[in-house]
Amino acid sequence: MVSRVIPVDPFDLVIFGGTGDLARRKILPGLFRRFCAGQMPPSARVIGAARSDLDTQGYRDLVADAIAEFNSDFDHEADQLKGFLDRLEYVAIDAKGQEGWADLQKLLQGTDRIEAYYFSVSPSLFGDLAERLQQWGMADANSRIVVEKPFGRDLQTARTLNATLAKYFDERQIYRIDHYLGKETVQNLMAVRFGNMLFEPLWNSQYVDHIQITVAETVGVGGRGEYYDKSGAMRDMVQNHLMQLLCLIAMEPPARFDPDAVRDEKLKVIRALDPVKPHHIARGQYQAEPCNEAHHPGYRTAVGDPRSRTESFVALKTHISNWRWAGTPFYLRTGKRMAARSSEITVVFKETPHSIFAEDAGRHRNVLSIRLQPNEGITLGVTIKEPGPGGMRLVDVPLDMTFADALGPEGAEQVDAYERLIMDVIRGNQTLFMRGDEVEAAWAWTDPIIQGWEARNDVPKPYDSGSDGPTDAFELMRRDQRQWREVSA
Ligand code: NAD
């Protein structure tokens, strides 16, 4: 099967922060891959706009280096690099002042194409950029802005940011990125749920025992210590990425696969979430790796604060108070410096109501696991008879619903989340972007949890680097006679 690449309409994409880490690691390498795939029309332009004092050639050199470093299949595509670099321009600009804006305006003047502005800068500059764009006449009805996370640090700041952006842009022009939503498997989750008759009748508390969502990282805070220590796992991961996954797994079938129908259903899930009880949360902070402290310091050393109370791990249990999910717990877990890098949603079904087999045949449960990284794919554990003579013994086997085998290597072409999302921005499709009210609702649920920790002076429990988190997280499950799936790559 051959994958179809449909070129998007001509566009100018301005990347504010076009020399930064995210632009170099993700945005520009992703655009280059779309260029190689033939999705970028020949007249499309990418304009880097940042503080560095570069000219266009200097910027093209910087981007060439970034692509060579971060595109894993660069060797196959090197001959296309020049064609891509020719599409790049650069403007030195100050988001807070007036420098560079006239140059940018001149560059964009007189073109009749889609204009997209990617705010890949500190969120403290989002408001300035929106204001300058409007001041210089670049915020017209056809333009759109892409904003990066974090979107606020609590409900109040998110509201303020939404209000600021709304002064200059309509909601339909604002694309709030959560790159988890751009992952192939996340969209496949919707295809599996809503494209098959098989799952939906079972997708409720009558048949589902519980659902686990794990996003485990092996990295520590690295060079982001100062930022991370003001944020923590709850703000950095749960409020956005895990919440989005929870919404997609739990939402009602939308009437149509269109942006507002999908986002309305996600919003209902967030609004139906129960407040989390303090004893249903485990917080942790990673400790130094024994014998390797110099390379892998503990959390407090890494952030430079021996008394830091910020969590690098959180596990919690929550419920969704609606007809579909009443009684089915959702367990969320995320952490840094864990045993493996793994993002997975696991739907654990109930046991059959009655076993017709002998007791030693064992009791089994179907487990649907949706794996986002690494090795994106969906597997359903089904129970069959263990082959061979010797009576009826049951065994679980995985029914692999990974698409590579069925669709062939081209059909299963993996498109990075950023590539897909940027192309969606150009197409004007907001389905995989968060709406302002969703973000606010997610903060409204998260804020009391964080405020509770602050009020109680809660101190996160230490956990070993390379483990699956603090013992409290296991206790949370054990109390319910359940267990976490092992974190494995
Ligand atoms: P960075 O510090 O590496 O780059 C910042 C960029 O902003 C640079 O290009 C710089 O020149 C530009 N800049 C700074 N001040 C400016 C000003 N006054 N006017 C114009 N340009 C200015 O940051 P980053 O890591 O690339 O992050 C960018 C955004 O993306 C942030 O909002 C961050 O939270 C978000 N983000 C980053 C990552 C990541 O992996 N780096 C992941 C998720 C979200």
CATH of the domain at 388: 3.30.360.10
The alpha carbon of 23 and the centre of ligand 1 are apart by a number of angstroms equal to 8
- Residue 403 pLDDT: 61
Q: Would the CB of 240 count as within 6 Å of ligand 1?
A: no
Give the tens place of pLDDT for each residue, 275-317.
999 999 999 999 997 777 767 899 999 999 999 999 999 999 9
| 133 and 206 co-located in one domain | no
Q: Would the CB of 121 count as within 6 Å of ligand 1?
A: yes
Q: Has residue 20 been placed in a domain?
A: yes
Last residue of a domain, which of 148, 167, 195? 148
Residue 176, H or E segment:
strand 174-176
Spell out where 217-291 has E strands: 281-286
The alpha carbon of 21 and the centre of ligand 1 are apart by a number of angstroms equal to 7
Question: Domain range holding 239?
Answer: 181-478
Q: Has residue 158 been placed in a domain?
A: no
- Terminal Cα-to-Cα distance of the chain (whole angstroms): 29
407: helix, coil or strand?
helix
Give the tens place of pLDDT for each residue, 180-224.
999 988 888 999 999 999 999 999 999 999 999 999 999 999 888
| 124 and 249 co-located in one domain | no
Q: Would the CB of 17 count as within 6 Å of ligand 1?
A: yes
**Cα angle 397-366-331, degrees, rounded to a multiple of 5:** 125
CA-based diameter of the chain, in Å? 82
Residue 333, H or E segment:
strand 330-335
CATH code of 87's domain: 3.40.50.720
pLDDT band at 407 (very low <50, low <70, confident <90, very high): low
The alpha carbon of 296 and the centre of ligand 1 are apart by a number of angstroms equal to 25
Q: Could you identify the residue written with the tokens 């790049």?
A: 88
**Cα angle 15-18-22, degrees, rounded to a multiple of 5:** 100
Q: Has residue 169 been placed in a domain?
A: no
Cβ-based burial of 298 (10 A; exposed 0-12, middle 13-18, buried ≥19): buried
> How far is Cα 369 from Cα 366, in angstroms, rounded to an integer?
10
241 is a catalytic site residue: yes
| 281 and 185 co-located in one domain | yes
Which segment of 2-11, 169-178, 243-252, 451-460 scores lowest on mean pLDDT? 2-11
| 236 and 335 co-located in one domain | yes
| Ligand 1 pocket test target in 15, 16, 22 with most atoms within 8 Å of CB | 22
Q: How many domains does the chain have?
A: 2
pTM attached to this predicted model: 0.94
Taking the CA of residue 150 as reference, the ligand 1 atom at the shortest distance is: 34
R_g (Cα) of the chain, nearest Å? 24
Taking the CA of residue 26 as reference, the ligand 1 atom at the shortest distance is: 40
Closest listed residue to residue 253, CA positions, set 296, 184, 194: 194
Q: How many CB atoms lie within 10 A of CB 110?
A: 6
Q: Would the CB of 20 count as within 6 Å of ligand 1?
A: yes
Give the tens place of pLDDT for each residue, 17-58.
999 999 999 999 999 999 999 999 989 999 999 999 999 999
* pLDDT for 1 beyond 90: no
Q: Would the CB of 98 count as within 6 Å of ligand 1?
A: no
- Residue 140 pLDDT: 87
Q: Would the CB of 95 count as within 6 Å of ligand 1?
A: yes
Closest listed residue to residue 364, CA positions, set 343, 340, 385, 391: 385
| 187 and 291 co-located in one domain | yes
> How far is Cα 378 from Cα 404, in angstroms, rounded to an integer?
11
Mean pLDDT over each residue of the chain, to the nearest integer: 93
| 243 and 137 co-located in one domain | no
- Residue 392 pLDDT: 84
The alpha carbon of 148 and the centre of ligand 1 are apart by a number of angstroms equal to 9
| 119 and 188 co-located in one domain | no
Closest listed residue to residue 89, CA positions, set 98, 100, 77: 100
Partners of 214 in beta bridges: 333, 344
The alpha carbon of 44 and the centre of ligand 1 are apart by a number of angstroms equal to 23
Q: Please tell me which residue, 254 or 415, carries the higher pLDDT value.
A: 254
Residue type, 453: W
- Residue 373 pLDDT: 86
* pLDDT for 2 beyond 60: no
Q: Would the CB of 135 count as within 6 Å of ligand 1?
A: no
Q: Has residue 82 been placed in a domain?
A: yes
Q: Would the CB of 120 count as within 6 Å of ligand 1?
A: yes
| Ligand 1 pocket test target in 120, 416, 422 with most atoms within 8 Å of CB | 120
> How far is Cα 92 from Cα 98, in angstroms, rounded to an integer?
11
Give the tokens for residue 299: 């959390």
Give the tens place of pLDDT for each residue, 61-109.
999 999 999 987 777 777 899 999 999 999 999 999 999 999 999 999 9
| 140 and 187 co-located in one domain | no
Residue 47, H or E segment:
strand 45-50
pLDDT band at 404 (very low <50, low <70, confident <90, very high): low
The alpha carbon of 443 and the centre of ligand 1 are apart by a number of angstroms equal to 23
126, 129, 134, 137 alpha-carbon torsion, rounded to 10°: -150
| Ligand 1 pocket test target in 14, 15, 21 with most atoms within 8 Å of CB | 21
| 62 and 103 co-located in one domain | yes
